[in-house]
Amino acid sequence: MKIRFILIAVCFLFSLPGQADEGMWMLGNLNKQTRQTMKELGLQMSVNKLYNTKRPSLKDAVVSFGGFCSGVVVSGDGLVFTNHHCGFSSIQQHSSVEHDYLKDGFVARNLSEELPNPELYVRFLLHQQDVTRRVLGAVKPDMNESERTSVVDSVMLVIGEEVSRKDSTLIGIVDAYYGGNEFWLSVYRDYNDVRLVFAPPSSVGKFGWDTDNWVWPRHTGDFAVFRIYAGKDNRPADYSPDNVPYHPEYVAPISLDGYREGSFCMTMGYPGSTERYLSSFGIEEMMTTTNQAQIDVRGVKQAIWKREMDSRDSIRIKYASKYDESSNYWKNSIGVNRTIKKLHVLDKKRAMETELRRWIQQTPEEREHLLHLFSDLELNYKSRRDAYRARAYFAESFLNGPELVQLALSILNFDFEGEEKTVVANLKAIVEKYANLDLGIDKEVFTALLKEYRSQVDSTYLPELYQTIATEYGGNERTYVDSLYARSELTTPRGLKRFLEQDTTYQIYNDPAINLGIDLITKLFKMNMQVQQASGEIERNERLFNSAVRRMYASRNFYPDANSTMRLSFGTVCGYAPFDGAEYDYYTTAKGILEKVRAHAGDVDFEVQPELLSLLSSGDFGRYADEKGEMNVCFISNNDITGGNSGSAMFNAKGELLGLAFDGNWEAMSSDILYEPKMQRTIGVDVRYILFMIEKYGKAGNLIQELKLANP
């Protein structure tokens, strides 16, 4: 029995944490084993210079960008490098048919031309602290899951608020780790005045668009440049013309030496979420619910958007950002489901669970508490299956579907009694949605999604509006939609304006769009109630499952799942073999751009301005060329990243910037669930290509002069 156990454990060793190149590590909790592994792989700088709370360190140059991406500070005057797709929404907001910064790019020639973005902020991590004992100290043995959650959430909130009370410029956030078995406090400082400085044209920043998204080899110059502003005291300040460039604690030096195969590479950023410790039951549910709903519903919506975007420049600009956001996760879901099947992820997870079952049975103290762990997981996932799936399609079809519905729900959920500053900002955000709305397109989307939702779920999960369509509109969805948009005042900002001005002739809660929103919220509440009990039990048992895995493999070096906190991943620059007979190199060059333009002639995804083609064809890359005289565009490493890592700094062994992470590869799309060392790669844009584009195409040599070049 012991021999068989060992053999199976070895077979599936790679599916468990502890590989040299696997892991999203907490910088505030780097253990001796992790530090040693980094040194063995080639790290040349002191680990204490990565994270230090007493003096400036590399983590002080890494920021959370807007709460959805990452970035890196590269100048003493607050320049930040991030991805083009991270700044895409801001670039789009400043664009018009007359000033098409999406198509043509943007360059601020001086500070006065830099464009403010009220919705953006950057977040610096100051320090992290283990508060597990305090949080779990409030949990009593006889509490059910709902009671436990309530108490834990309350203590987490209290600990976070204590930070702000001591210093109003600080933000304290307590996050759960290892499925709610550990809790850490992160202390941040936010800067809310972030301005656009440089954006390449989309033919660079989005080269390949949907076709190349999640694909290697890649030739996308996915970068943008912003600047952090502060008050004259260098402290956080809301936007003001009087603000000045922020002077950071630490500036990331930039390497022009590049990399070779096998070079040490580490990535620092803010990965969003992973599910490495999720049970096989949870993985299977994810595939059939959230992922499949995104695939089906977004596919319908995006097809309509894309058709109209390709036909009119005004629509392309209006819809560019939301299409980009939607399609990114749509393609991700397709890739995840395919890769889970292709790489037999469920089989590997179930094999590990078989051994865990056996270990529980053979360990008296574990058997006493966990005898029914797997049967409970199976039962509860099964009991919520239909309602949970319907809810996933409901969310995509309505909550994330027609924009009129989204506007109605935003108004219904609006806190008009909140702090004045917050109310004004949130109202502005709602009004701005109208600027990027085309009613004709939205009606077509709504009609299509009504049909799609009905085709995917049982009739018991249909909201009341379907009965209205059947009885009052002869079952014709388009007639219902036309009537709804004709009768609602919320199709333009006029209705919201009348409500805010307390126009007595207009009652917003009688508006048909608001009534529809109430109908949808009611249906969603019922769905939530249907899955509530099972979901509570699942949360509890997944937490117990997570803890049991760590106990069974007690000698392993575990890292927590990503949760939007700062993480470090490390490994090497290296190629890979995706399938028999194919080997991918570890970098691409400008030659590949020219080849793709020729191969995809007439495809808008690969259109490049003539002046750019001329620049890349010249071969005059100056100091940004590699030792062969070529212009490297992208490169790959086996660093472990996920969504949220976009814009993350990729550093060499000395802590010098090599590039920016912006994507993963198609062959390892299941990486949020299981790390695949032979396949998983991080795609980054080479910093030398970034600098080349800034200097040679943008003719912004002034920005280059701001940078700290390690080897000019």
Write the CB contacts of 270 (distance below 8 Å, at least 6 apart in sequence).
64, 69, 70, 564, 565, 566, 567, 644, 645, 648
CA quadruple 37, 42, 46, 50: dihedral sign: negative
State yes or no: is 168 an active-site residue: no
Token couple for 218: 């890649």
State yes or no: is 646 an active-site residue: yes
Contact yes or no for 208/607 (Cβ under 8 A): no
**DSSP H or E run through 611:** helix 610-617
Contact yes or no for 1/527 (Cβ under 8 A): no
| Distance of alpha carbon 543 from alpha carbon 674, whole angstroms | 18
Residue 195, class by beta-carbon neighbours within 10 Å (0-12 exposed, 13-18 middle, 19+ buried)? buried
Write the CB contacts of 39 (distance below 8 Å, at least 6 apart in sequence).
47
Write the CB contacts of 92 (distance below 8 Å, at least 6 apart in sequence).
102, 317, 320, 321, 436
Write the CB contacts of 116 (distance below 8 Å, at least 6 apart in sequence).
193, 194, 195, 239
Write the CB contacts of 569 (distance below 8 Å, at least 6 apart in sequence).
21, 23, 24, 25, 266, 267, 639, 640, 641, 682
Contact yes or no for 560/642 (Cβ under 8 A): no
Residue 484: closest CA among 395, 398, 413, 394: 398
Write the CB contacts of 616 (distance below 8 Å, at least 6 apart in sequence).
590, 593, 594, 631
| Distance of alpha carbon 49 from alpha carbon 59, whole angstroms | 8
Q: Say how many C-beta atoms besides its own lie within 10 A of residue 691's C-beta.
A: 21
Set 15, 21, 85, 279: catalytic member: 85
| Cα 71 → chain centroid | 13
Token couple for 688: 């030398």
Residue 668: closest CA among 202, 83, 21: 21
State yes or no: is 344 an active-site residue: no
Residue 3: closest CA among 11, 557, 19: 11
Contact yes or no for 662/208 (Cβ under 8 A): no
| Distance of alpha carbon 231 from alpha carbon 253, whole angstroms | 25
What are residue 73's DSSP bridge partners?
A: 80
Which of helix, strand or coil describes residue 214?
coil
Q: What is the DSSP letter of 87?
A: S
Set 212, 222, 324, 561: catalytic member: 222
Beta strands in 200-249 (DSSP E): 224-230, 244-245
Which of helix, strand or coil describes residue 366?
helix
| Cα 312 → chain centroid | 29
Set 57, 321, 569, 646: catalytic member: 646
Letter for the amino acid at 509? Y
**DSSP H or E run through 184:** strand 182-191
The upper half-sphere exposure of residue 23, i.e. CA atoms within 13 Å in the direction of its Cβ, equals 26
Which of helix, strand or coil describes residue 269?
strand
| Distance of alpha carbon 250 from alpha carbon 259, whole angstroms | 23
Write the CB contacts of 633 (distance below 8 Å, at least 6 apart in sequence).
218, 219, 220, 221, 587, 588, 589, 590, 592, 593, 685, 686, 689
Give catalytic residues, as residue numbers.
Answer: 85, 222, 646
